[in-house]
Amino acid sequence: MFKRILLATDGSPASDHAAEMAVSLARLHGASLTSLYVVDPYPYLGIGETNPMGFEAYMNAAREHATGSLSRLAALCERQQPPLALEQRIVEDVSAVEGILRTAKDEGCDLIVVGSHGRSGLSRLMLGSVASKIVAHSTVPVLVTR
């Protein structure tokens, strides 16, 4: 049924659960799996003046977090029998919602998998729920996991 699955991850426990679901669905349907981490500069820009690290330090830390998140997902795919092929993407300079929707379109994905609760704290208050915005604006089915 599904041919190309996009897993949007942010490294949270909810994303880790979504990853397990996406891997299972990809195996079940024989679908390709693409993982995506959006390095979103906008939470920093809203509160940046109070951050002593500075913008570049914020972005470097976000890139490191993205790499770690995608590495955990790659390890999950490698543990499958047989190992599941995984394409990985990191997108920068867009909001999480825009990056996810654009990547799904560009990659020709027919399913987006996201966790129900990812980012929290100030970024959640300022941006609202990423998952709910994906559901509202996606042109392809969205699976939201808990």
Q: What is the pLDDT of residues 100-110, one digit of tens each?
A: 999 999 999 99
Domain boundaries in the chain? 4-145
What is the pTM (predicted TM-score) of this model?
0.85
Q: What is the pLDDT of residues 17-72, one digit of tens each?
A: 999 999 999 999 999 999 999 998 766 555 555 555 677 787 888 899 999 999 99
Average pLDDT, the chain: 87
> Rg (Cα) of the chain, in Å, rounded?
15
What pLDDT, on the 0 to 100 scale, is given for residue 75?
96
**Residue (of 140, 106, 125) closest to 34 by Cα position:** 106
Q: Please give the class, per CATH, of domain 4-145.
A: alpha beta
